[in-house]
Amino acid sequence: MRFALMIEPQQGLSYDEQLAVARTAEDGGFEALLRSDHYASFPGEGGLPTTDAWTVIAGLARETSRIRLGALVSPVTFRVPGALAKVVATADEMSGGRVEVGLGAGWNELEHAELGIPFPPLRERFDRLEEALAIVHGLWTEPDGWAHEGRFWQVRGARFRPRPIFGQRRHPHLIVGGHGKPRGLRLAATYADEYNLTSARPEAAHDVFGRLEAACVAAGRDPGQVVRSAMAGVLVGESEGDVRDLVRAQTAFIGLDAAGAEAWLAARRERWIMGTPEQALERIEAFARAGVERLALQDFLPRDLAMIRLIAGRVLPQGAAL
């Protein structure tokens, strides 16, 4: 099993706080630090400071040396595909080939409204996602003169310069995620280097990855070329008492009372990596048995660097052997 740390900086994290997380994760041996791409602050208090994902990733690229960096995921509504291809290629060059990029359809209408960003209906957002994937993939891999005539964007006589080597890969590590729906699996099989299953129980992953393999075969692609990953919330404490304290901190941060906190916890026990290091490893083993090759541990308390260090010291070494 390989491990990425995933954070939600729209919860009010400054650049310096994100840098502290990145350096802690890098020192602890995490393979990657992935961050959300949102402009509205949630969950919890609204109106907190937010930062632009790709500006931050470019900064972190110059202030780290080993850890991979990326967005999980960038909404296609935020960025024109050709411009995004340039931004990602630039950040990848700045990092020495360590950048990853997840692309999604977007879902939070509030943040679009607050910044005047158009928010089309769901079907159109997915149509835009499919076309955006085709464009960024084409710009990164097709020869000079490549063209794309789409419904939303047209590319004519493309000359993508510079064409970096992306760490000897065909393009920056491209991630498509979702809940195992047919269209998402087809898009991953066609364009992606990784499919990330979002907030699912380990038992569900086996079936989804079976359908991903079938989608790869249908697309004429070796299923082994697509990394199978999952994103799971994480709360790990040294003792049962520490775990209870973390749960209280988490639920208080998002403004839940005692009854709401209990319901929140019950809804996540089967999906999250939650408990002592030993209990966390049991859940990780369940994901490994389901075929998960990489876990993105979604940390909603990223200012708690001690928890990141605990996971790095007590969970990652044993988990890597699963």
Give the tens place of pLDDT for each residue, 222-279.
999 999 999 999 999 999 999 989 988 988 888 888 778 778 888 888 889 999 999 9
> From CA 109, how far away is CA 117, in angstroms rounded?
9
Output the domain CATH number for residue 67: 3.20.20.30
Number of domains composing the chain: 1
Measured between alpha carbons, how far is 71 from 99 in angstroms, rounded to an integer? 9
Query: What pLDDT does residue 260 have?
Result: 81
Torsion, Cα of 149, 155, 159, 165 (10° steps): -80
Of all residues in the chain, what percent carry a pLDDT higher than 90?
Answer: 85
Secondary structure of residue 231 in the 3-state scheme: strand
Reported as a single tens digit per residue, the pLDDT across 146-200 is 999 999 999 999 999 877 666 667 789 999 999 999 999 999 999 999 999 998 8
Measured distance CA(17)–CA(275) in Å, rounded: 25
Strands 194-198 and 2-7: unpaired
Domain of residue 12: give its range: 2-319
